[in-house]
Amino acid sequence: MPISKTGIGHSECTADKQEGFEKWLHMNISIWLKIFEKYPNKIKRYYYFDLMCGDGNSPDNNEKGSALIAINTISKYAYLNRDISFYLILNDIEYGNVNNLREKIKAIKIQNQIPENVKIKTYCQDCENEDGYEEIFSLLEIIDYKAKGLVYLDPNGCKSIYKSNVLKVIAKVIPNLDILIRCPTVAIKRCMGAKFTNYFPLKNKIKEIDKNIWLVRDVAEIDKRYQWVFLFATNYRDYRAWKKERWYLIDSKEGEIIMNKISHIKDKGENI
Q: How far is CA 125 from CA 51, 87, 150, 160, 183, in A?
A: 9, 18, 18, 12, 20
pLDDT, tens digit (0-9, with 9 covering 90-100), for 219-234: 999 887 788 999 999 9
Beta strand 177-184 with 45-50 is unpaired
Q: Which own/partner contact pairs does 251-257 have at CB distance under 8 Å and 24+ positions apart?
A: 251/214, 254/218, 255/215, 255/216
Q: What's the pLDDT at 189?
A: 76
Strands (E) across 129-272 are located at: 148-153, 177-184, 213-217, 228-234, 247-249
Class of domain 14-263: alpha beta
Q: What are the residue boundaries of the structural domains of the chain, listed by start?
A: 14-263
Percent of the chain scored above 70 by pLDDT? 83
35 pLDDT above the threshold of 90: yes
pLDDT, tens digit (0-9, with 9 covering 90-100), for 71-92: 999 999 999 999 999 999 999 9
pLDDT, tens digit (0-9, with 9 covering 90-100), for 96-152: 999 999 999 999 999 999 999 999 999 998 766 656 677 777 888 788 888 999 999
Assign 268 a pLDDT band (cuts: 50, 70, 90). very low
How much is the pTM? 0.89
Q: What's the pLDDT at 1?
A: 44
